[in-house]
Structure 1
Amino acid sequence: MNDKKLDFNEFDPVSKKEWTDKAIADLKGADFNKKLVWKNLSKIDLPPFYSIEDEQFLLDKTGENKQQVINYRTVKVNSAKKANHLALKAIEEGMNGLIFEIKDAISARKLLKGIDLENIAVSFIIEKNEIDFIKDFIALVKERKTAPEKFKGYVDLRIIYKYVTTGNIDFHVFDKLVKIIKLTKDYPAFKAVSISGTVFSDSGANQVQEIAFTLNSLVFYIDELTERGVDIQEIFDDLHIELGIGSEFFVEIGKFRAFNSLLHKIAEKYGVTNFSYDLTARTSKWNKSVIDANTNMLRTTTEAMSAILGNADGIIVDPYDREMNKVSEFSNRIAGNTVHILKEESYFGKVSNPVDGSYYIEKVTAKLAKKALEIFKTIEAKGDFYECFEDGTIQQQIAEICLVKIKLLSQRRLVRVGVNKYPNLMEEVDISLFSGYDKSIRSRKSLLKPKRVSFEIEKIRKATEDLVQKTGKRPVVELTSFGNLAMRKARAGFAYDFMGVGGFKILQEKSYCCSEKAAQSAAVSESDIVVICSSDEDYKQEALNFVKDFRALNKKKILLLAGNPVDLEEVLIKAGLDGFIHVRSDLIQTLSDIQKRLKESLKPLEI
């Protein structure tokens, strides 16, 4: 055996141009940028690989992975006793952070009974009686002689969230905030100035918009608080930021790092060079679904990974069934264990700043920061966050991206497993989950509305479930194939996946030796929808005959063709074909049109 040490200097280095030329050769002349350069919705170009030859823009102050991330659980407070029980249970399950959502007057002593305030971060989202509760709370903290440096958490009055979702803001709320800042001033690790950007991402904003508008919100806070006599250093030292986590894994890592860097740049403009703040990440509402809700666990896992690697100080992993309003002990435990496993078993909590120096992530971070800073400056140049929201500038920018995302979802270029691809046809969806779906995904133009991008597809599923209730029958789709074996199988598979999104019953593909027998059998079967599946060559020879033979026996059934034979479109439609399904089909529009026809053809259930 040769023990000679391997010397990599023996190999000549390969330049980036050589790699690119090789890729172009493998693409057989196809455009390298169109095929391999990813353009995401934050309008940044992401090449397929990076090398030392790429110009590096290393941002500073991108955050620090403290290896002590706070794993939060949200507790809704209806009664102090019940909320306290849920909080203690969360602590038993290993949670080291609690967020109490308080809507009415409540006793801090009863709520926090038995909770160690030096080892558990305690935070509050308060909507009423804010000052009274904080007074009661701080009195309890002092009574327990809690060490100021160990007492962590934050209080959030949801000022920005309420404003952008209702259109109303009572500026006296900043007077309350000033009082809370004074009440908590002896506890530097408990933050009183909380700003959340999740409302932007959950309303459809991209990463650069979320960064920019959150920073614009901060400047708005600073203006209001300094007018009321709060010192600028005190504001930054009392700052808590919450950002959402999306599904673009590496870009989301870059988002948190870019935000940290830009926050320090803005602080420097105010003359603040050293300050202490907390950054909490919350899993997104935007990319979740009530259809095949178990897949939400996959999404929250990658989101939590992005947040930890992006140097978040705290993480809120929402239960996978939160959007179904059915949060259970099991789903709460799974949500908490997600962060436990990443920290302890996957060693995410054992390595400091593991992504620093990655060409890809450093580049993504720099590009996001550059574009976010441009938007931030544009908003400030037009006035400030408040003025730009009042005139609709911010809403319009978010709406443009939101509509693009919905379009990509409908084109299935933005994939949501279980929603617009790979539907679970065995799932029986509770129709009560779809309450309120008669409203459009688009809220009033002047407001933001946190929502799920899957909302429009869920509306289609609701329409199917309504049809089942009215007729007592789930619409049946029959996949009828003939001709070329490989292509008919491929198109039957595509049709199975495409039509399954609508919640229809999909029969297994039926193959025939010729189009005549296929048409005759499909026309007299018990199905409501028939999809022709074959190759383009077979369509040229047999599709017209199939449609004519089919319509001679059945005038009512919906007849579709899997594929896009452009040259045959007009003649097939004239012969009685109802439409085509293919990779360029608009999923939402196509399924909606099919459902309208089903409503006309299926008889209501007789009672």
Structure 2
Amino acid sequence: MNKSLTKKHGLNVTEFQKNTTKLFNDFSPSTKKDWEKIVLEDIGPEHDLSKISWNLPGMQPALPLYTKEEISYSETNPIRKTCSWQLCDYISDKNFSDAKNSIIEAANGGSECCFISKKVDIDFEEDFKNLIKAAENAGVDLIFESLKISKFTDSADDIDSNVTFLRDDFSDSSQSNLNSFEIKPLSSNQLLSVNGSNYCSDEASIPHRLAVSLSIASEYLLATDLKAADSILFRVNTGSLYFPEIAKLRALRVLWHNMMEAWKVSGNPETLILSEIEKNDATDSPYNNLLISVTEAMSAVLGGTDILMIHPFDNENHFSGRITRNIHHILNEEAHFGKVADPAAGSYYVEKLTDEIAKEAWRRFGQIEENGGFLNSLENGIIPEDLL
């Protein structure tokens, strides 16, 4: 506490602490039965809480509420070191000129980063350089997904530092070459993209998707003699299960921390997470679907994503892009979600889900490794069908 401030206001710190302690001593601690009574007042006394649960795929059924005694929360749980996230626009214009204009529009709307989709046609080196120049002038970073520009990036180390190239060496290799492929050396502008969902069925559980992501990262670490530890980006699709999705990102940080300790990687490389909110088609109304995207974005931010990319609900509509971009501004400037590094910490419900997801994902990751790692498990059909 600031001494000059306490002196100015005549605050006796010792007396204040004594009175505060006395204040809390006047209230008896709440038991789980006390909380259950409050819940029953809300949902009706005819319900039996012992029979109410949320059956989540690949996890233990989630109960309606948890208390401090039921979680294994640790103060050492790894969290991100920054409070806010990077606002990222999804650029999917097929025409190069339209993509360039979208970058400028995104920057004017407050975006800090633009993700250049594979859909963007960049056939000439001059177009590629003009795109980078436009982003540099607008003050935004670029993340390239497209392999079509690889012929322009041989001298990637000479390219401006605001440009990052994603590599997914597994997805970009043909199935027949997977068992014999080698990781090419990384340049300073490249990150290895990891997305376990690319190899899972639509019904795969959250722990399974995380386990597959870990197994891919493990292959990268093994192939690069651990040198890729600080060059991995986890690309995570965020869905509509509000609390489990918050817990999923928090669990991913715990899992990465565990993996770094297991591999004995020095320097404790941080987890870099890009959360992706895909276009929603859950209802016939695009504006109702936009509201679903808002809750998914909330899950990503509360879970601690580093980069948040929300797909517009109408790619052909500039209004759609602006409204989608404003979701970031509302969460950051009005809801102040960017003021705390781990907003969900201390929520017994989210802490319990985080612990459950992390433990189950780690168990499944261990089984993938016992089966020979990601490549062997993929070949044996274990990964897509969630058979662990």
Q: Answer yes or no: same fold by TM over 0.5.
A: yes
Shift of 1:351: 2.4
Question: Which residue of 2 is the match for residue 488 of structure 1?
Answer: none
Amino acid at match of 1:47: L
TM-score norm. by structure 1 comes to 0.54
Q: CA 1:19–1:329 in 2, change beyond 3 Å: closer, same or farther?
A: closer
Q: CA 1:345–1:17 in 2, change beyond 3 Å: closer, same or farther?
A: closer
2: CA distance, partners of 1:293 / 1:58? 41
Question: Which residue of 2 is the match for residue 69 of structure 1?
Answer: 85
1:547-569 Cα shifts (integer Å, max 9, x gaps): xxxxxxxxxxxxxxxxxxxxxxx
Question: Which residue of 1 is the match for residue 50 of structure 2?
Answer: 33
1:336-391 Cα shifts (integer Å, max 9, x gaps): 11112111111011223222222121111111100111111111111111111111
Aligned residue pair count:
363
Question: Which residue of 2 is the match for residue 110 of structure 1?
Answer: 130
Q: CA-atom RMSD, angstroms? A: 3.2
Q: CA 1:21–1:337 in 2, change beyond 3 Å: closer, same or farther?
A: closer
Structure 1: unaligned runs, 5 residues or longer: 142-150, 185-189, 401-607
2: CA distance, partners of 1:113 / 1:313? 25
1:444-489 Cα shifts (integer Å, max 9, x gaps): xxxxxxxxxxxxxxxxxxxxxxxxxxxxxxxxxxxxxxxxxxxxxx
Question: Which residue of 2 is the match for residue 246 of structure 1?
Answer: 239
Structure 2: unaligned runs, 5 residues or longer: 1-18
Classify the secondary structure of the residue corresponding to 1:122. Answer: strand
Runs of 4+ more than 6 Å apart: 21-29
1: CA distance, partners of 2:156 / 2:129? 7
**Larger RCO (alpha carbons 8 Å, 6+ apart):** 2
Shift of 1:14: 3.4
Shift of 1:279: 1.0
Shift of 1:167: 4.5
2: CA distance, partners of 1:201 / 1:247? 18
Classify the secondary structure of the residue corresponding to 2:165. Answer: strand
Q: CA 1:24–1:113 in 2, change beyond 3 Å: closer, same or farther?
A: closer
Question: Which residue of 1 is the match for residue 344 of structure 2?
Answer: 355
Question: Which residue of 2 is the match for residue 371 of structure 1?
Answer: 360
Q: CA 1:305–1:117 in 2, change beyond 3 Å: closer, same or farther?
A: farther
Question: Which residue of 2 is the match for residue 139 of structure 1?
Answer: 158
8 Å CA contact 1:247–1:302 kept in 2: the answer is yes
Classify the secondary structure of the residue corresponding to 1:127. Answer: coil
Shift of 1:87: 1.0
8 Å CA contact 1:59–1:366 kept in 2: the answer is no
2: CA distance, partners of 1:127 / 1:97? 19
Q: Work out whether 1:333 is the aligned partner of 2:322.
A: yes
Once the two structures are superposed, the pairs formed by residues 411-422 of structure 1 within 5 Å of their partners are none
1: CA distance, partners of 2:207 / 2:142? 30
Bigger shift: 14-23 or 239-248? 14-23
Shift of 1:217: 1.2
Classify the secondary structure of the residue corresponding to 2:236. Answer: strand
Classify the secondary structure of the residue corresponding to 1:394. Answer: coil
Classify the secondary structure of the residue corresponding to 2:369. Answer: helix
Amino acid at match of 1:220: E
Amino acid at match of 1:134: T
TM-score norm. by structure 2 comes to 0.82
Once the two structures are superposed, the pairs formed by residues 368-447 of structure 1 within 5 Å of their partners are 368-397=357-386
2: CA distance, partners of 1:346 / 1:18? 31
Once the two structures are superposed, the pairs formed by residues 167-246 of structure 1 within 5 Å of their partners are 167=175, 169=177, 174-175=182-183, 177-178=184-185, 181=186, 183-184=187-188, 190-199=189-198, 203-223=202-222, 225-226=223-224, 231-232=225-226, 234-246=227-239
Question: Which residue of 2 is the match for residue 156 of structure 1?
Answer: 166
Shift of 1:129: 4.8
Amino acid at match of 1:155: F
2: CA distance, partners of 1:59 / 1:378? 28
8 Å CA contact 1:123–1:153 kept in 2: the answer is yes
